[in-house]
Structure 1
Amino acid sequence: MSFSIETKCLHLEEDSQNNDGQPACRENCNHYGSISFPIYQTATYAHPGVGKSTGFDYSRLQNPTREQLEKIVCQLEGGTDAFALSSGMAAITLLMELFKPGDHLIVDSDLYGGTIRLFDNVSSKNGIQFTRANCSGDDVESIITPATKAIYVETPTNPMMNVTDIAAMAKIAHAHKLLLIVDNTFMSPYFQNPLALGADVVVHSGTKFLAGHNDTLAGFIITKNSEINERLRFLIKTTGSGLAPFDSWLVLRGIKTLGIRMEKAQSNADKIARWLKTQKVVTKVIYPGLEEHPGHKIMQGQSRGFGSMVTFRLSSTEKALSILEKVRLIKYAESLGGVETLITYPTTQTHADVPEELRLKNGITPETLRLSVGIENVEDLIADLKQAL
C-alpha cells in the first residue's frame, strides 16, 4: 500500500502490510496495541542470553522510540536511512565529521547564523576550508577546486529567502563527484524533498516545523548513500549525539499534524506577505510565494508549496525596533516553525555572531525583520501587525 504525504506523517507504509501483501493483523502489532508509540525511557536493555540481543543494547546506540521517529522522517524524505540528533546544530556538526583536514566545501553565503558560526569557528579550526557563494546566482562551478568535497546550501535561505535550483546544483556537484548537502528546514519534507531532486544528504533542525510546538530540540540527517549511512551510524555511537527517547516522542507527536500545520501556516504567510506589500513603511517583502520573487518559478518546479517564512524591511531601524516592542499576539523570539507566530530581529538574534560586513552583503540590514507565521487566525495576526506598524 502506497501512502500520500499526509498519511506518511502518521503511519509507516511498512506497517500496513505483511510479507504476503495482506493487511497487518492485530497479532503482528507490538507495544500491546498502543496507538501512540511508547516512550522507551531506558538507558539499557537486558539480553535474552549469551550472544543474543533484542536488537537494542544501549540507548546511546539506538532506542525504539528514536528508531520509530527515524523511520517516519526517512519515509517523508524518501531516504534509505535517517538519524535523529539532539539538535539541528548537532546534526550539522556530525556531518562535518565526514570531512578531514584539507577538505574544501562550497557553502551558501546566506545561511543560518549558527551554521556560519560553526563553520568559521569550529570546523575551520579542524582544517576544513570553506568558500562562500551565492548558490542561487553565482557561478559555483568556477569555485570548485581539486580539494572540494561538497556543496552545502539552504533553500530557501535564512533569512533572505534565496532559492537554489536543487536539481541543477546536484548536476554540478555530481559532475565533479561532490556531495550536495541541503538544509531543508524552512520547507520541511511536507513541501520539499531534496533527495528526489538529486541531493545526497538532507539536514533538518527538527526543532522547527517537524516538531512544530516550540517544546523540544531535535535535528535530522537523511541520506540514500550506504557508505555515508554507516559512517554516521558509527559517529552517533561514538559521540553520543542521538536524540533522547522523550524528545523523540515529542517530535513523533508533532509530525502527526505536520501537513495540517504547514498548509495553514503557508496560507497565513501568503496573506500576510501580500498585506505587508500595501504598507507604506514596509519597503520590501521577501516571500517565495510572491510572483515577483526571483525564485518563485524554481519553487513551483521543485516544491509543493512556498512555506511560511516571511522577511520584510522597514523604512528605518527605529521603525523595525518599535514593531518588536509593540507586537502583542506575535511573540518577539528566536526560532521558527512552531504553531505560534514569532518575529525575529536577525541583526541581534539569529545572525548576531555573523560579521557585520557579511550580514549587510547578504541584505540583513538593521531594518530587516523575519516572521515565522503560525496557525492563528490570520485576521488576528494582521490586526496585531497593523497596530504595531
Structure 2
Amino acid sequence: MSESDSSPENKLQPETLAIHSRRVYERESNSILFPIHQTATYVHESVGVLKAGYGYSRGGNPTVNALEQAISALEGTEQALCFRSGMAAITTMCMGLLKAGDHVILSEVIYGGTVRLFQQVLGNFGIGYSYVDTTDMDAVRAAIRPESKLMFVETPANPTMKLTDVAAMAEIAHANGMLLAVDNTFLTPLLQNVLNLGADLAMLSTTKYIDGHNATIGGSLASHDVAMMDRLRLVRKTIGTISSPMDAWLTLQGVKTLPTRLKMHVENAGIVAAWLEGNPRVVRVNYPGLKSFPQYALAQKQQKAAGGMLSFELDATTVQAIAFINALKLTTCAESLGSVESLITNPATASHCDLPKAERARLGISDGLIRLSVGLESPQDLIADFDRALTEVFQK
C-alpha cells in the first residue's frame, strides 16, 4: 500500500471528500470560500524570490491551485493541472509528451474536437495518428508502430457510449512502451477511476460534470507520475493554457456538489433509458446501465455506475430527428453535457458533422441518433415531454 492509499482522505466517502478533502482556506479574512485571485502578477519578496511560489498568473494562481487540489483529491493523485478548456488540456498533453515523428493510437469513436486537433493541427507538426476500434485487442496491437508513443481513448465514447477496457489497453500500451491517456469526462473519477485501472493520465473536461452548471469552460489532467506532471506544468506555463481564476472559482463550487449530482444523474438516466427502450419509435438505446447494452459486463467491471449520458436512435430522417429535438420543452438543444439541465443534440449535424456520412454510419452515428445528457429534472416530466414531442412529430 502506498502512502497515498493509507492517507485519511481515502477513508472519506465521496460526498465528504468533495467538500472537505484538501480544502484550502484564505487565512487573512477566514472566508469560508477561497477567494478569487484575479491578478496578473504578484509582488516579489526581492529579485528572484517569490512569496508562496507565485510570480505570474500564466504559471500559477492561488485560486486555480485550490481547484487543482480539489480535483487531485477526487483523482487520488498528489497533483492535478487545470486548463482553459478540455481541448487546452489535450493540446498541452500532446505538446508535452509528443514530438515530430511520433504516432498516436486514438479510439475510433472520439470527441469531434479531438479529431480536429489531430487532423487539422497536430498533423501539420509531423505527429501521426491512427483511429482504431479499441474493443478489438488484435486491431489495437496491429496498429502499433515502432514510433507509437501514446494511446488516447475515450470511454464511454461520444456519442455511441461504446466502452474501452481500460485495464486491457493499459496492458497493451505498457507492453509496447506507450503511455495510456483516458478522456474520462462522461463519468469522472467518482464513477470510473481510470488511473486505478492502469491509465497513466486522466483527462477531464471540467466544463461538464465537474462544474455542472454550464457556467465555465475548463479542463484538467492528473497523473501519479510526478515527472510527467512537472513537464506538463512547464508546457502549460509556456503556451499559456492555464485556467482563469474566475472559472476556477466557479468550478470549485461545482466540485462540492458533484457526488450528490451524479447520484441523481445516474438515477434519472436509468429511468429515461428504460422508457426509451420500450418506445416503438426508438430503434436502439445506448446506455451502459441497461442489460441490453452489448458491453454491459464491461460496464459492471470498470464503472461504479452508468452515468448520466445516453444516446438513442430514432427510426427517423435527419429532418424528423431535428423536429423532435425542436419540439421538446424541457430538454435544451445545446452542444454540452453534464449540467443540471437536460441537454440534447443530433451528432450527425453537430459534433460529428465533419465526418463523411458513410464514416458516421460505420461508427454507429446515424442521422437519427440523438445524444442526451440527462439532467436533474424529474424523470417523469422528461418522459412526458419526450412522449409528447414524439407524438407531435410522427403523427404529422
Aligned-partner Cα distance in 2 for 1:50–1:150: 40
1:60 to 36, 41, 58: 58
Aligned-partner Cα distance in 2 for 1:114–1:29: 37
Q: In the TM superposition, what is the alpha-carbon distance from 1:228 to its structure 2 partner?
A: 1.4
**1:211-261 Cα deviation digits (max 9, x unpaired):** 110111001111111221121111111111100000000100111110111
Match of 1:41 in 2: 38
Which secondary structure state, in structure 2, belongs to the residue aligned with residue 370 of structure 1? strand
Number of aligned residue pairs: 377
Aligned-partner Cα distance in 2 for 1:191–1:42: 35
Aligned-partner Cα distance in 1 for 2:229–2:333: 38
Structure 2 CA distance for partners of 1:312 and 1:122, relative to 1, 3 Å: same
Would you say 1:6 and 2:15 are equivalent positions?
yes
Q: In the TM superposition, what is the alpha-carbon distance from 1:51 to its structure 2 partner?
A: 4.1
Structure 2 CA distance for partners of 1:14 and 1:341, relative to 1, 3 Å: closer
Match of 2:310 in 1: 310
Match of 1:123 in 2: 122
Q: In the TM superposition, what is the alpha-carbon distance from 1:29 to its structure 2 partner?
A: 6.8
The normalised TM-score by structure 2 is 0.92
What one-letter code is carried by the residue in structure 1 that aligns with 2:19? L
Match of 1:136 in 2: 135
Match of 1:337 in 2: 338
RMSD: 1.4
Aligned-partner Cα distance in 1 for 2:328–2:23: 46
Aligned-partner Cα distance in 2 for 1:170–1:162: 17
Match of 1:25 in 2: none
What one-letter code is carried by the residue in structure 2 that aligns with 1:110? V
Which secondary structure state, in structure 1, belongs to the residue aligned with residue 310 of structure 2? strand
Matches within 5 A, 1:174-213: 174-213=174-213
Aligned-partner Cα distance in 2 for 1:246–1:29: 16
Which secondary structure state, in structure 2, belongs to the residue aligned with residue 32 of structure 1? coil
Q: In the TM superposition, what is the alpha-carbon distance from 1:45 to its structure 2 partner?
A: 0.8
> Gaps (5+ residues) in structure 1?
16-27
Match of 1:222 in 2: 222
Aligned-partner Cα distance in 1 for 2:232–2:205: 17
Which secondary structure state, in structure 1, belongs to the residue aligned with residue 145 of structure 2? coil
Matches within 5 A, 1:252-263: 252-263=252-263
Aligned-partner Cα distance in 2 for 1:370–1:32: 45
> Gaps (5+ residues) in structure 2?
1-7, 391-396
Query: In the alignment, is the contact (CA less than 8 A) between 1:40 and 1:64 conserved in 2?
Result: yes
**1:154-173 Cα deviation digits (max 9, x unpaired):** 00000000111111111111
Aligned-partner Cα distance in 2 for 1:334–1:378: 21
What one-letter code is carried by the residue in structure 1 that aligns with 2:106? V
Matches within 5 A, 1:34-183: 34-54=31-51, 55-97=53-95, 98-139=97-138, 140-183=140-183
Moved more, 144-153 or 310-319: 310-319
Would you say 1:325 and 2:322 are equivalent positions?
no
**1:90-145 Cα deviation digits (max 9, x unpaired):** 11111110211110111001001111111111111111111111112352112111
Match of 1:18 in 2: none
Query: In the alignment, is the contact (CA less than 8 A) between 1:327 and 1:385 conserved in 2?
Result: yes
Aligned-partner Cα distance in 1 for 2:108–2:215: 30
The percent identity for this pair of structures is: 44
Moved more, 162-171 or 316-325: 316-325
Structure 2 CA distance for partners of 1:266 and 1:14, relative to 1, 3 Å: closer
**1:268-312 Cα deviation digits (max 9, x unpaired):** 100000000111111111100001212222121212111011100
Which secondary structure state, in structure 2, belongs to the residue aligned with residue 369 of structure 1? strand
Would you say 1:234 and 2:243 are equivalent positions?
no
The normalised TM-score by structure 1 is 0.94
Q: In the TM superposition, what is the alpha-carbon distance from 1:30 to its structure 2 partner?
A: 2.1
Match of 1:386 in 2: 387
